[in-house]
């Protein structure tokens, strides 16, 4: 496609059609003193000087090549096989735009279809969409979908207090203006009492497994929760950590209706907080109420397999105010990274990653529990995150650790507001270990914690 | 283009056929041809009360989603379960197998306000 620049004749014609004689006249609404402000910019630099300056700026940041981090809490450091960036950096994928014109978008559409299929395999659910912005908005969309499945005739959404506090805050943002009440995530509520809160005005119950504190939910309890929800025709939403799903029973196996979560751990780097990617999967029977892009497989007029965006009448550009949501995009490049990551590891490889995460976290926990002054707070089975109590404020421990090139775990008093001020003191730390932590790094951490106290 | 003389119609293209104190409701051949391939029909539950003029469901095609408006008031006593797996029945047989809901009528007088087949045909031919 050739680039067609604006000509002087074209510009003059447009101006006269609009009824002005110069471009300046179009800005007369802006007060004169603000119309063409003088901005003090330094003189232009050469490419070499710019690169040097950016290099200098970036070196003022710490990075995970040089620092070991034990943070988790919703964003996880996993090893990215080189093939992931090799594929996502290809310009055909990197520059591809929205695949509304199927004929010229088969590559990106097929990649999204593969991603969707893999999410279904991982979660044990029947249909998955092409992704949402992140885990938090995926959960919010799940709540909206459940509300719509029950036709807006019910108004209570039960959210477990052990779901990531920021996810719950985002859900509250999303349901503003709707006749929806969020219940049961008061700080001291116990997960096991959730079935008792379900009544005939409940449209969904949401839990997270492993939960925000890394704890694994009991399978029988999850099945019972699903049954309790279904007995009242409410839907069960499960927020999951995709790496853990390679090791645990998938949500589809215990009665989940909508499975959501953060897919960043699958092939996406930490990226300083984003872009991330929310996965979303549900039962086929509810697919017409599911929001988000959906890629389907079909055949063309010649009988050859092809891919298209499908069930488009769900979306807001057709359904308008009756659509479940206004989302009409997805995180295509991040989803491609997930698909490449999952296919390069395969189910066995992904399971091995999960096993390493589990074992390394437990090794770290055991080592810390033996230190004087430190206690394990987590008493239930956990995946790769756990809570410890420190002999000194976490803030001080982390400052010491940082001087030794280690980023410590999350200071839980920082999220205390959402979880109830009585629950966490300033001594509780949420730690995470993944396959990237070598035994040496784990031993160094244990030693550093001992020294810091 | 089929226009069923045993039905009365809304200007929004829903038809109603009365049998005693019950009514069967669907959308017309004109409507289905405008919509194109129907992929999903959302219907009310048995037992729901519906008021004349109220929205009782929606029909989705590949390119559009339209609300369905009740031509009469009543209580839903049956919905066409076949449409869940075979939404194309609406296209293939809009006055027959593509029926949508059956209602117990509240007020027979409401039928008088609807268009008869000739008035409806004229409306469609106007475009």
From chain B, the residues in CB contact with A313 under 8 A are: 39-40, 60-65
Q: Which of A313, A315, A317, A322 to mutate to test the interface with B (most CBs of B within 10 A)?
A: A313
Q: Is the pLDDT of residue A81 over 60?
A: yes
Beta strands in A77-187 (DSSP E): 127-128, 156-159, 181-183
- The answer on pLDDT for A350 being more than 90 is yes
Q: Select from A311, A313, A322 the Cβ nearest to the Cβ of B64.
A: A313
Contact B63 A319 (CB under 8 A): no
> In the prediction, which pLDDT does A104 show?
92
Chain B residues within an 8 Å CB radius of A308: none
**Which chain A residues are closer than 8 Å to B59 by Cβ?**
none
Domain segments of chain B as ranges: 8-113
Contact check, Cβ <8 Å, A318/B63: yes
Both structure tokens of B38? 């129907």
Subunit contact A318:B62, Cβ cutoff 8 A: no
**Chain A closest-CA separation from residue B80 CA (Å):** 16
| B58 touches A at CB < 8 Å | yes
**Dist CA A276 CA B31 (whole Å):** 43
Kindly report, residue by residue over A211-253, the tens digit of the pLDDT.
999 999 999 999 999 999 999 999 999 999 999 999 999 999 9
Q: Where do we find the tokens 């940041």?
A: A61
Q: A376 - beta bridge partners?
A: A388
Q: How many Cβ atoms from other residues are within 10 Å of residue A273's Cβ?
A: 10
CATH number of the domain at B8-113, out of 3.30.70.2740, 2.40.50.100, 3.20.20.140, 1.10.510.10?
Answer: 2.40.50.100
Q: A80: which 2 tokens? A: 């990215």
For A49, residues 6+ apart whose C-beta sits below 8 A from its C-beta are: none
Selecting from A288, A318, A322 the residue whose C-beta is nearest the C-beta of B64 gives A318
Q: Which residues of A touch B67 (CB under 8 A)?
A: 322
Per-residue model confidence (pLDDT) at position A318: 81
For B5-63, write each residue's pLDDT tens digit: 999 999 999 999 998 889 999 999 999 999 999 999 999 999 999 999 999 999 999 88
Chain B residues touching A149 at Cβ < 8 A: none
Enumerate residues 87 to 116 of chain B having a beta carbon within 8 A of any beta carbon in chain A.
none
Q: pLDDT for A171-201, tens place per residue? A: 999 999 999 999 877 755 556 688 888 999 9
Residue among A288, A313, A322 minimizing CB distance to B61 = A313
Furthest C-alpha separation in chain B: 38
- pTM greater than 0.90: no
For residue A318, the chain B residues in CB contact (below 8 A) are 63-65
| Nearest residue of B to residue A317, measured between CA atoms | B64
Furthest CA-CA distance within chain A:
82
Residues A322, B62: C-beta atoms closer than 8 Å: no
How far apart CA A156 and CA A200 sit, in angstroms, is 9
Enumerate domains of chain A plus CATH numbers: 68-80+346-452 (3.90.1150.10), 82-340 (3.40.640.10)
CB contact under 8 A, B60 and A322: no
> B122 CB near a chain A CB, below 8 Å?
no
CB contact under 8 A, B40 and A318: no
Question: Distance (Å, rounded) from C-alpha B105 to C-alpha A250?
Answer: 48
* A311/B39 touch (CB, cutoff 8 Å), yes or no: yes
Confidence class for position A286, pLDDT limits 50, 70, 90: very high
- Please tell me which residue of chain A has the smallest CA distance to B84: A285
Min mean pLDDT across A59-68, A174-183, A314-323, B89-98 is at A314-323
């Amino acid at each position: 496609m050739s680039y067609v620049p604006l000509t002087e004749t074209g510009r003059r014609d447009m101006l006269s059609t609009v009824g002005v004689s110069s471009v300046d006249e179009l800005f007369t609404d802006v007060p004169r003193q603000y119309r063409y402000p003088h901005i003090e910019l330094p003189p232009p630099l050469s490419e070499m000087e710019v690169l040097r300056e950016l290099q200098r700026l970036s070196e003022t940041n710490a990075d995970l090549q040089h620092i070991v981090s034990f943070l988790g809490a919703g964003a996880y450091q996993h090893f990215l096989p080189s093939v992931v960036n090799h594929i996502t950096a290809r310009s055909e994928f990197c520059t591809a735009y929205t695949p509304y014109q199927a004929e010229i978008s088969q590559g990106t559409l097929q990649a999204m279809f593969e991603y969707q299929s893999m999410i279904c395999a991982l979660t044990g659910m029947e249909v998955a969409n092409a992704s949402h912005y992140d885990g938090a908005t995926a959960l919010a969309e799940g709540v909206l979908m459940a509300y719509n499945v029950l036709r807006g005739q019910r108004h209570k959404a039960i959210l477990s207090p052990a779901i990531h506090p920021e996810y719950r805050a985002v859900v509250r943002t999303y349901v503003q203006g709707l006749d929806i009440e969020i219940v049961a995530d008061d700080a001291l509520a116990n997960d096991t009492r959730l079935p008792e809160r379900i009544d005939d005005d409940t449209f969904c119950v949401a839990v997270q497994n492993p939960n925000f504190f890394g704890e694994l939910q009991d399978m029988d309890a999850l099945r019972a929760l699903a049954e309790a929800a279904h007995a009242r025709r409410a839907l069960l939403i499960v927020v999951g950590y995709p790496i853990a799903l390679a090791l645990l029973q998938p949500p589809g196996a215990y009665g989940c209706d909508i499975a959501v979560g953060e897919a960043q751990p699958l092939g996406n780097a930490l990226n300083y907080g984003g872009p991330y990617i929310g996965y979303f999967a549900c039962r086929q029977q509810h697919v017409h109420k599911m929001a988000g892009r959906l890629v389907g497989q079909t055949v063309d007029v010649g009988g050859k397999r092809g891919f298209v965006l499908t069930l488009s009448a769900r979306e807001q550009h057709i359904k308008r105010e009756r659509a479940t949501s206004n989302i009409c995009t997805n995180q295509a490049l991040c989803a491609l990274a997930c698909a490449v990551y999952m296919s390069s590891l395969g189910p066995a490889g992904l399971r091995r990653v999960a096993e390493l995460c589990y074992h390394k976290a437990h090794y770290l926990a055991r080592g810390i529990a033996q230190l004087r002054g430190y206690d394990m707070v987590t008493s239930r089975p956990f995946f790769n995150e756990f809570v410890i109590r420190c002999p000194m404020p976490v803030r001080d421990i982390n400052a010491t650790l940082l001087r030794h090139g280690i980023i410590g775990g999350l200071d839980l008093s920082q999220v205390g507001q959402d979880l109830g001020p009585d629950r966490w003191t300033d001594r509780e730390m949420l730690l995470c270990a993944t396959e990237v932590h070598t035994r040496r790094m784990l031993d160094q951490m244990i030693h550093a914690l001992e020294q810091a106290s | 283009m089929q226009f069923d003389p045993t039905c009365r119609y809304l200007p929004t293209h829903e038809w109603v056929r009365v049998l005693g104190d019950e009514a069967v409701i669907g959308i017309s051949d004109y409507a289905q041809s405008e919509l194109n391939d129907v992929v999903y029909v959302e219907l009310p539950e048995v037992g729901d009360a519906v008021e004349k003029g109220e929205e009782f469901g929606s029909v989705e095609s590949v390119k559009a989603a339209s609300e369905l408006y009740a031509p009469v008031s009543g209580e839903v006593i049956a919905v066409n379960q076949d449409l869940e797996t075979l939404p194309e029945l609406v296209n293939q047989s809009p006055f027959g197998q593509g029926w949508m809901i059956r209602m117990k009528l509240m007020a027979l007088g409401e039928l008088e306000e609807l268009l008869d087949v000739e008035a409806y045909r004229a409306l469609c031919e106007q475009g």
